[in-house]
Each structure stands twice: as C-alpha cells, then as structure tokens.
Structure 1
Amino acid sequence: MNSCLAPDAHPVRPTCVLPRGAWDAHCHVFGPGVDFPYAPDRSYTPPDAPYEQLRSLHDYLGLTRGVIVQASCHGSDNRAMLDAIARSEGRYRGVAIVDGSESDAQLEALDAGGVRGVRFNFVAHLGGAPDLAVFDQTVDRLAGLGWHVVLHLDAQDISTYAQRLQRMPVPFIIDHMGRVKARDGLGQPAFRALLELMENPLAWVKVCGAERVSAGRRPFEDAVPFAEQLIQAAPDRVLWGTDWPHPNISQDMPNDGALVDLMAMFCPDPAQRHKLLVDNPLTLYGR
C-alpha cells in the first residue's frame, strides 16, 4: 500500500485575483482517520486532510465555493465528504462513490446531503475499471436525480470506452484532462480522442491536474497548451479545481497558490475565466 505526501503547507499568494463566486470544482477531504476510517482495500493511505484545512485554503486563495470529490481511499463510505458539506453552510457540493447496492432512498439521501454526481475510477493504479454492469446500471439511475458522472480515466481509456461514452444518457466529466501526457504532444491519439469527445454536448472536462499531465516539474507549464485547446473546444463545459490535497503525488508537490496562477495562464480572458470558475460549475452544482 502506497503512502502519500502531505500537501504544501505554504501556498503562495496568487497574483491572479479570482472572480467573486469562484469555485474549486475538484478537491478532497481525507479523514480524519480516527473519525472516518480509510477503506481496508485502499491502494494508498493519505495524510489526514480534513474539512478545516480545505476551508482555510479556499479562504486564503479567494475560492468561494467547492466540489468535494470522493476519493478511492475512502471507497464508497462517503461520510467524511457528507460531514464536510453539512458543516459548510451551503458552500460545498459533493461527488460520491457508490457500489451499486444503494436503494433509491439512499441515493435521495445523498442528494439531500449535497451530492450532485457519482465518480468512477478506471485508473490502473487505483484498481482499474469498475464492474461495467454496475456502472451501466448506476448511470441509468442518475437522470431522475439530475446528477452527472465523473470519470477518472487513463489517457488510453478514452478510446477504449469511446462507444460507452457516446451513449451516456447524462452529463459526464473527464477528470484531469484525461491524464494525457504532455511529453507525447498535442497530436497524440489520446488527446485527439478527448477533443473529439468534447463535440458531444453531454461531455465536460476538468482542466486541472496539470501535475499529472506535465512531465513532472513545477510550474507544470507544459500542460498549458492542452488546457487551452480544451477550453477552446468546449468553453461552456470546462471546469477547474485544485485537486487539493493532491493524492498520489510522490514528488514535486504542487503549490496551490501557484496552481491558481497557472490557471490564469491557460485562461487569460476574464470573460472566459468567469465561465470556467463561476458560470460553468453553477450549471452542474448550483442547486
């Protein structure tokens, strides 16, 4: 079982001033483990990164709202996420992990608790693809709730699951720019497949996780051209987030203040930045 580095405890003050109402559309809370134990079958054990730390970071960076995405280290036990949302006085929404056994009443309770979507991990180092029958059955249940699906994929999975993605009946979000690799260039098949996927009006993408796209050295500017093209391809269906506290980073931990300024590099236009940080997340998470 892998362990994770703690996030950078000293974020710089961003030079970019964020618009009023800006969202961090991809962040996590971990533990504290004494109150919310980690899943026995987890592939990594993170340092505790509780609600209080997340809220303090958002206040410091100028982020007003947030989406807490359930991570695999907590499995389908969504209590830490739900506790954070409940304590936030409406500031946060959530994306859950489910195992397919949930009743309609349980899904409705998650909705009442601020959940607006379900996440599925396909990434190999986190256990690989889920049971696809459970995946399909779960997706079919989401439309009535007004939820969407968040997909954490490896780059090559975009082509592998292309047909399944094209028949999705609800909005779906590709995490972290599809985890394409900057070293393989803008012409790589995985990135071309992602751009083609963005022609689907139900497809969204998060232009975050630059440290996962980059060759791996701060300030991760080699990820900028990929984010720029995705924003251009689907300006009304892009989201951005910090990915705090950056699970599974083994070296060159991002600085969250620097990530805000990196976002400003690939989205320099104030009107588009307002879409990215305010209007677009409100479409999915505003209720």
Structure 2
Amino acid sequence: MKLCKAPDPHPTTPAYRMPPGACDAHCHVFGPADVFPYADDRAYTPPDAPFEALQALHRHLGISRAVIVHASCHGTDMAVTLDGIARSGGTMRGVAVVDGDITAGELARLHDGGMRGVRFNFVRHLGGMPDLAVMDRVLALIEPLGWHVVLHLDAQDVADLAPRIDRIRIPFVIDHMGRVQAKLGTDQAPFRALLGLMENPLAWVKICGAERVSVGRAPFEDAIPFAQKLLAVAPDRCLWGTDWPHPNISQDMPNDGALVDLFARFTDDEAVRHQVLVDNPTRLYWPETLG
C-alpha cells in the first residue's frame, strides 16, 4: 500500500492577499487515524492531516471558507468530513463519497451536515471506472437536493466519456484541470476536449492541482497556460483550491503559500480572481446566502 508524503510544514506567506470570503474549494482532512480510521481497502495511506492543521493553514493563507472533499482513504464513512464541517461554524461545506445503496434519507442527513456534492473517481491509479449504473442512481437522488457531482478523471479519458457526461442533468465539476499533462502543450487533444466540455453550461472546473498538471517540479509554472485558457472560456464556472495535504504527490511537494501566488498569476484581473475565489463557490456551496 502506497504511503503518502506529508505536506510542507512551512508554507510561505503569500504576496497575494486573498479577498474577504475567499474559499479553498478543494482540500481534505485525514484522520487522526485513532479517531477516524482509514478504510481497510484504501489505495494509499496518508499521514494524519487533521482539521486543526487545515484551519491553521487557512488562517496563515488568509482563506475564509473551504470545501472539504472527502477522500477515498476514508472510504464511504463520512464521519471525518462531517466533523470538520460541524466544527467550522458554517464556513465549510463538503463533497461526499457514497455507496451505491445510499438512501434518500441518508443523503438528507448528509445535506443537513453540510454536504453539497458527491464525487466519483475515474482515475486509473485510484481504481478507475466507477459503476455507471450506481452513478446514475445517485445523481437522480441528489438532483432534488440541489447538489452537484465532482468528476475526478484523467484528461485523456474526457473524449471517451463525453457522451456519458453530456447526459448529466446537474452541475458537474472537473477536478484538477482534468489532470491534463502540461508537457504535451495546450493544443493537445485531451485539453481541447476539456475546453469543449466547458461549453456546457452545467460544466465547472477546478483550476488547481498545478502540481498534478505540471511535469512535477516546483513552482509548477507550466500549469499556468492551462488555467488561463480555462478562465478565458468559463470564468463564472471556475473554482480554486489548495488540494492540501496533497496526497499521492510523487515529485515536488507544493508549498501552499506559493500555490496562492501561483493562482494570482493565472489572471491579473482582480474581478476575475474575486469571481473564482468568492462568487463562484458561493453560488455552488452557499446559494442560500444569495439574494
């Protein structure tokens, strides 16, 4: 079983100052394992990265809100994510991972606990294609709740999955710029397919995970052109997050302060930055706060 590296314990102080209400729309909480055990069938084992450490990082970076994306190492036991949301005082929401036999009643409980979406993993090294019949059933159940679905996939699979994705009737969010490979350039077919997918008004994308898009060497500047093109296509449907504590990083571990400054290089338009960091996550995760 793969053992993950720990995150950089010394994040720099970003030069870019986050606007009030800025949201880390993709982060995780791991453990502590003696309180929230890891799943027996997990594909990797992370070091503990508890809620208190996430809060401390956000205070350091100037981040006001967050979305905890439940990670596969905790299986479908949502306790660790629900605990973090409950302790956040309303400043955090969550994305769940669920079993195929989930009931409407259980989803309602998760909604009350702050969950606003469900995630399906298509990434090959994390298990690959999910049961699409299960996905159909779950999406039908979450539609009345106003939830969205997060799709964790590899860009080279976007074209093959496009007919299936086109059938989705609720907002869907593509993780980590589709994990496109920066070394192949912005004209590569998988990235063109992702840009084409973003023409769908239900499609959202996270312009984060630069360390997963890059060739793997900090400061991951080769990811910048991809984020810029996605922003140009759909600035009102882009989200950003740290991906802390960065599970399954095989090369350079990112510094979270440096990632904030990298985000600021995606666009010099402060209105667009505000849209990505504040307005867009509010629409998707805190719609009840809008007029």
Distance 1:169 1:257 in 2: 37
Q: Where does residue 194 of structure 1 map in the other structure?
A: 194
Q: Where does residue 238 of structure 1 map in the other structure?
A: 238
Shift of residue 106 of structure 1?
0.4
Aligned to 2:235, what secondary structure does the other structure show?
Answer: coil
Shift of residue 250 of structure 1?
2.2
Matches within 5 A, 1:31-42: 31-42=31-42
* TM-score, scaled relative to structure 1: 0.99
Q: Where does residue 114 of structure 1 map in the other structure?
A: 114
Gaps (5+ residues) in structure 1?
none
Aligned to 2:252, what secondary structure does the other structure show?
Answer: coil
Q: Where does residue 26 of structure 1 map in the other structure?
A: 26
Q: Deviations over 1:63-115 (max 9, x none)?
A: 00000001111111111000000011111000000012111110000000000
Q: Where does residue 63 of structure 1 map in the other structure?
A: 63
Shift of residue 137 of structure 1?
1.0
Kept in 1: contact 2:102–2:138 (CA 8 A): no
Give the letter aligned to residue 185 of structure 2. Answer: G
Shift of residue 143 of structure 1?
1.1
Q: Deviations over 1:130-174 (max 9, x none)?
A: 111101111111110000000000111211110011110100000
Shift of residue 267 of structure 1?
2.2
Kept in 1: contact 2:158–2:190 (CA 8 A): yes
Q: Where does residue 180 of structure 1 map in the other structure?
A: 180
Q: Where does residue 218 of structure 2 map in the other structure?
A: 218
Gaps (5+ residues) in structure 2?
none
Distance 2:40 2:268 in 1: 43
Shift of residue 2 of structure 1?
0.2
Give the letter aligned to residue 101 of structure 2. Answer: S
Shift of residue 251 of structure 1?
2.3
Aligned to 2:169, what secondary structure does the other structure show?
Answer: coil
RMSD: 0.6
Q: Does 1:8 align with 2:1?
A: no
Distance 1:202 1:238 in 2: 12
Distance 1:157 1:82 in 2: 31
How many residues are treated as equivalent by the alignment?
A: 287
Distance 2:102 2:179 in 1: 30
Matches within 5 A, 1:155-174: 155-174=155-174
Moved over 3 A (4+): none
Distance 1:160 1:45 in 2: 31
Percentage of pairs with the same residue: 65
Distance 1:267 1:55 in 2: 27
